[in-house]
Structure 1
Amino acid sequence: MQTRHIALIAGLLVAIAGAGGTLWWLYRAKPAPPAPYAEAPAAAPEAPPASAPVADVGPKHPIEPLAAASAVQPLPALDQADGVVQAALAELIGRQGVMAFLNVDGFVRRAVVTIDNLARPHAAPRLWPVQPSPGRLQRVVAGEAELIAPDNARRYEPFVALVASVEPSRAAALYRRLYPLFQQAYAELGYPRGHFNDRLVEVVDHLLAAPEPTLPPAVRLTEVKGEVPSTRPWVRYEFVDQTLEALSSGQKIMVRIGTTNERRLKAWLTGFRQAIVSSR
C-alpha cells in the first residue's frame, strides 16, 4: 500500500458520476496518459464458444441518459470528449476544484478503469483521475510499533470536504448525462456485454462495507526484494494486521484516510447510490 492517495473514492465517484473522482491520493506518482487496455481486469470475460452464444443479460440497475440534454447537445465521441467532460466537472465542483484535485486528461477512461479496480487488490495509480496529495504518510511510534498518526487524516480533509459539498442528486444527474461515455469505456475495458452502472453500484457497496478500525492501524515499510534497492522506500507501507492488508485497494483507502473522513465519504456514497439506482 503506497503513500500516494486518493481520498477520492467518493470523489472518484463524484468525478465518475460526472463529479469528482473517491476513489482516490494514496499514491504519489504523477499520472501518465491513460492506457486502459494495459490495465484490463485480472480475469476478463472469456469469449463464448461460437456454437453456444451467450445472450446479453439485462442490467440489474438500468439507468437512462438524460434525453433532453443529449438531444440539445449530443455527446462527442469518447476520444474527443475531454473538453465536454472537463466543462461538466467544472460546472459541478468549480474550475478550481477540477484544477486542484483532478486529472482530466482521458478522465472517463481513467475513472472507469479505477472504479473497476477499487474492488480488486491493486488500482494502478498512473491511471487514476485524481492528483496526488501533498506530504507523506504521518506515523507515530507506540512501543515497537508504528501507527498511522491521527493527524494524517488532515491531508485528505480538503478533498473530502469538496465531495461532501456536492449534492449527490446533482452528481447523479451529470453522471446520467455522460453515461454513454462511461459505458463505452467500460466495453473497451473488456466488458462488451457488461453494464457499467451495475459495476459502479457493486463497487460502491463494496466500499460501504469497508471496516472502521477503532484504533489507529499499525503499518510497516513494505519489503522491496531484488538486487536494485528502492530509492524512495518511504512511499510504500503496508498494514501489519493481515486482515487489513488483505483488503481491496479501495477498502484500504477508506481505512487509510481515517474514520471521520471514511464515514463522511460513506454518507455521500449512500446518497449517490440511491440516486443512481432510483434514477430510472
Structure 2
Amino acid sequence: MPRRDHTANNRLAWIGLFVLVAVVVGALWWWAPRTSKSPAEAIGRVPTEEVVERPVPQVQGLGVGEPDPNLPPLGNLDGYVRPLLAVLSSRPELAALLASDGLVRRFAVSVDAIARGDSPAGQVRAVAPRAPFKVQQRGDELTIDPASYARYDGLVILVEDMPTPQLARLYGRLKPRLEEAYAELGAGGTFDDAMTRAIRHLLATPLPPPNAQMQQARGINYAYNDERYEGLSAAQRQLLRLGPDRARRVQERLRAFGIALGIPADQLRSRS
C-alpha cells in the first residue's frame, strides 16, 4: 500500500527499477565479452544490416546467442562489467544501479521474488524515488496525486531506451551465471522458468484508471477502494505505483523483451 512516510516510501517504491531495469536492463548490467571492440559493439549495438547478415544461434532455453566462455566467476562479475556498461546511458539511474555490489545475485533475488508475487524492495534501493507519495482530496474522494506517478519518469525513460533484441543476446551470453546465482537461492527449477513467471505475473496486472478512488487505511497507509487492485500481489501493487500510463508502457516493453527471449507471444498477454 502507498505510504505517506518518506523513509518507508523509499524502501518500497522500487518497481520502476524491477519492471524492466531489473528484468530487462538487468540482463544488460552483467555481460560484456572480453574483446577489443568498443562497448557499444561488444553488446551487439551494431548496424541493423550486420545483425541481419550475421545471425547468432539460439541457446537452449531463453535468450539468444551462445554463453560467453570467458565469463569471470560469479563473485567477480561486478568489476568485469561496470566500465563497459557505464557508457551505455548517461541516465543517473543506471549509474546508481551500477554502483551497487553483487549485481547478478541481486538480479536473481529480484526475479525470484517477483515470480512468487513478492517485493524485492531491498535489492534496488539505489533508485527509489526521493519525493514522497502524495494523494489529493476533493470533497470526500481521495485519488493519487499525478506528481506521485511522475517520480518514476527517469526510470521509465531508461526502460524504454533499452533495445530488446540486444538485451536478449546479453541474456544468452550471461546465462550460466544467471542460472548459478538462481541455484544459490535453492528455489528449484531454472532461472528461465523464474524469468518467465515474473514477466507473466506483471503482465497479468490489471491497471486502474488514473482517478481510481483510494481510502485511508490503518495508520498512515492508503488502499484502493476497489478490491480488484487492492487484492493484487505485492509485486503487482508496486507496478500500480507507476500510474496506468507509465505502467502500460513498461508492460509493453516487458512483453517485447519476453518475446525476444523466446517466450511464446500467446503466453504474454496483458490484462491492461
For 1:216, the aligned partner's letter is N
- Equivalent residue number for residue 61 of structure 2: 62
TM-score for both structures, normalised by structure 1: 0.70
Tell me the percent identity. Answer: 30
| 1:276 corresponding residue in structure 2 | 261
Give the CA deviation at 1:100.
Answer: 3.6
Q: In 2, are the aligned partners of 1:212 and 1:259 still within 8 Å (CA)?
A: yes
- Contact 2:63/2:171 (8 A) holds in 1: no
Aligned to 2:154: 158
Distance 2:225 2:29 in 1: 34
- Determine if contact 1:169/1:275 at 8 Å carries over to the other structure: yes
The Cα RMSD (Å) is 2.8
CA displacement at 1:128 relative to structure 2: 3.0
TM-fit CA distance, 1:184: 0.7
Within the candidate set 15, 19, 24, 1:14 is matched to: 24
Change over 3 Å in CA distance of 1:89–1:201 after alignment to 2: farther
Given that residues 102 and 130 in structure 1 are in contact (C-alpha distance below 8 angstroms), is that contact kept between their aligned partners in structure 2?
A: no
Q: CA deviation at 1:15?
A: 2.7
Tell me by how many angstroms 1:197 deviates.
1.3
Deviation at 1:239, TM superposition (A): 3.1
Report the counterpart of residue 213 of structure 2 in structure 1: 218
Measure, in 2, the Cα distance between the counterparts of 1:64 and 1:10. 16
1:97-121: per-residue Cα shift (whole Å, max 9, x none)?
Answer: 4224555311111111111212445
Once the two structures are superposed, residues 137-189 of structure 1 have per-residue CA deviations (whole angstroms, 9 ceiling, x without a partner) of 12101333421112322111111011101111111111222221111111111
Gaps of 5+ in 1: 21-60, 225-232
Q: Residue 115 of structure 2 contacts residue 194 of structure 2 at CA under 8 Å; is this kept in 1?
A: no
- The Cα of 1:222 is off from its aligned counterpart by 5.0
In structure 2, runs of 5+ residues without a counterpart are 3-8, 31-59, 265-272
Q: In the alignment, which residue of structure 1 is the partner of 2:168?
A: 172
- TM-score normalized by the length of structure 2: 0.72
Q: Which aligned runs of 4 or more in structure 1 are off by greater than 4 angstroms?
A: 94-97
Letter in 2 for 1:137: F
**Match runs of 1:85-96 below 5 Å:** 85-87=81-83, 89-94=85-90, 96=92
For residues 146 and 74 of structure 2, the distance between their equivalents in structure 1, rounded to whole angstroms, comes to: 42
Aligned residues: 225
1:276 maps to amino acid: L
Report the Cα offset of residue 91 of structure 1: 4.6
Match of 2:241 in 1: 256
The CA deviation string for residues 17-38 of structure 1, in whole angstroms up to 9 with x for no partner, is 2259xxxxxxxxxxxxxxxxxx
CA deviation profile, 1:199-229 (whole Å, cap 9, x unmatched): 11221111111112124333455535xxxxx
Alignment equivalent of 1:201, drawn from 187, 196, 199: 196
- Give the one of 121, 128, 147 matched to 1:132: 128
User: How big is the shift at 1:258?
Assistant: 0.9
* Distance across 1 between alignment mates of 2:29 and 2:76: 19
Q: Is the 8 A contact 1:89 1:98 kept in 2?
A: no
Counterpart CA distance in 1 for 2:237 and 2:63 is 32
Indicate how the Cα distance of structure 1 residues 275 and 19 shifts in structure 2: closer, same or farther if over 3 A, else same: farther
